Each structure stands twice: as C-alpha cells, then as structure tokens.
Chains A and B, each alone.
Chain A
C-alpha cells in the first residue's frame, strides 16, 4: 500500500497542506475540514500530509490517522481517474443494486473499494445518494445515472473509454 511519490508531488502536498491549515487557522477542532480540503485537492490523504498536519497542530500523528481511517469519505490511496459509485441504499439494493455492483466488479475485474491497476477506474459503494425513486442508481464521476440495468453497465464503461470487447478477448487468451 506504500506509494512512491515524486519530489514534485511532495512539494505539492506540502503547499496544499500548509494552505489548508492556514485556511482553518491551525485549529485542532478543524481537523475534518482540513482533511477534506487536502483530499479535495489531492484526491487522497498521503501519509506525508497527515504527518505534516499532526506536527503543525501539535497532536500525535496517530490522532490524525484515527480520524482519516474512521470516516467513509477519506481515502489513503489515490483514486482512479473515473470513480464509479454504486448506490447501496435500501431502494437501490432491493431494485438490484448488488447485481449492478457485481456487474461492474466483474467487468473491471476489481472488488468493491478497489482501483484498477491502470488507475483508470475505482469502484465504491455509497450508502444513499437520495435518488431512491430512480433506483438502482450509479454515480459516475459526480453524474447520477438512474434506473441502471445490468445491461447498461458495459455502455457506461465504454463511454468512459473502456474497451470491453478487447478485454474479453484478452481474457480468452
């Protein structure tokens, strides 16, 4: 799970964190907004960012890690280029949300919560996006797709540039 980061990225992390801290007046009780800001700009919470936040706020590093690992929103790894979030709210589940999840997982060959090795797609579950009347719902890069049938899964992925046919042939070989 350790990620290599370049000197350039290290610098970007440093500035981002410094700005997020500044914006929140270096307040310990603003830890969530600080982490949200950092993740909003970097896409995830790098280890270096958490270390820097802890030392600036003068709190144990593990306290930052504790918060970062508690909430669903935070991720410790960079996300895929395209994020697919399958709604697992009650209405979506009963309308076959799990079948949609399985279909994406099968096509992308990853499990829920994972990112494809080429970092193109990540697959996540969301508790409920509040569009229950359109169940089952999938959020594709912030766009809500309603009434998704399993047969639409390939279409959604192809629209994002995934080559479905080719992949199958590869698998066959």
Chain B
C-alpha cells in the first residue's frame, strides 16, 4: 500500500497514491490534460505524443505529466503560456501529417484529436505548418475493421493492445523517422498477418486509424 499524498492541480486539492503518474491522477479528478499515447497499465510510459505537458512549481521547464510521479505538496498548473505553446505546436505537428477530413472519418465525434481541439480551443486545420501527408493506401483486408495509416498518430496503443491484451503479435512499429508506421510483417495486408480480428487494437485506437467496419457507412 503506497502512501496517500495531497497535491494541488489548478488550485484544486486532490489526494492520490504517492508515485502515481500525474496524468492519471488529474484525469481521475476530472481535470483534463491532452494525451494520446498514455496507457494507464503501462509501467514505463512511452511519452511519445508530447501533448500532456504541465507546469510544476519548482521545476524550471514544463514536463510531461504521464511520466511525473506525484509527491506530497506538489503544485501543478495544467495551463500556462509555455504549456499552451508546446501543446499547440505538438498538436499542429500531428495534424500536419494527418488526413484532415473529419466528416469522412469513421471516428468523427469520438476522436481524441477533436476532443483536444475542443478542450484547448485549437483549430482542426493547418494554419502555420506545411502539410507533410503522403497518402498511403488504406488496408481494407480485415473483415471487421479497416486500417487507415493516413490518420494514424503513432501513439502505439494498438501495438500495446495486440501484445498485452490480445497476446498476438500481429502488428508492430516498423521503419524509422518519418517513415515510422504501424504495420504487419513485410507490411503485408493485415488479413495475411496472424491477426485474429479480436478488435482489441480498434478499441485502443484514439483516432480514425483503426475503425470497426459496422461504423462505416
């Protein structure tokens, strides 16, 4: 049993188990912090989406809340000029490589990107950035879902679900840098992979990359 500590988030006092990651503590208390890659059960967070920045009193720079263990007396602000700037840039960067046609997306209305935009007053279109999107074919081979890599934000939640929930190992991250993507072996269609279509990955996907087919028109 870990010790209970009291911390302050945006002026609100909350209690939590010492060492729990701030992101989940905040969310559990109804305080929203943008996030895509966070997985509560994962001991060592990926910290790859770079959206969950907060200011912590005593720390010189904004930090990612998914990696921050809470300590007694910690004083946190989820918004500041610096935090907002980083979140905005990270968000716009993700959009710059994302197919931006929400109306045609199977996750329209249930998409985490839309939620972040709404919560933080950000636009769902490119204003500053150049579009980096190079259209890749949609994998329509599975019976129950489809995979649109053009909407993938590389959060890794599907890969985690495939490994830890479904225990399959059909998909993983392949290639590097801008070419990094979620794919099956040899980048073959998912229907030719060991995938059993349990839909664990579809459930995990926060955006319109993995979408169950009945949701489609």
Q: Give the interface of A toward B (CB within 8 A).
A: 47, 50-51, 54, 59-66, 69-70
Contact = CB atoms under 8 A, between A and B. Distances in A.
Interface string B165-203: 000111111111000000111110000011000000000
Interface of B: 168-176, 183-187, 193-194
Nearest to B182: A62
A61 B195 CA distance: 12
A50 to B, nearest CB: 8
B169 A59 contact: yes
A28 to B, nearest CB: 13
A65 B169 contact: no
Contact of B172 (A47, A50, A51, A63): A63
Contacts of A59: 169
B195 to A, nearest CB: 10
Contact of B184 (A54, A62, A64): A62
A51 to B, nearest CB: 8
Contacts, number: 41
A69 B176 contact: yes
Contacts of A51: 185
Contacts of B185: 50-51, 54, 60-62, 64-65
A131 to B, nearest CB: 26
Given A60-B168, A62-B193, A70-B176, 19 more contacts: A47-B186, A50-B185, A59-B169, A60-B169, A60-B185, A60-B194, A61-B186, A61-B194, A62-B169, A62-B170, A62-B171, A62-B172, A63-B169, A64-B185, A65-B172, A65-B185, A65-B186, A66-B173, A70-B175
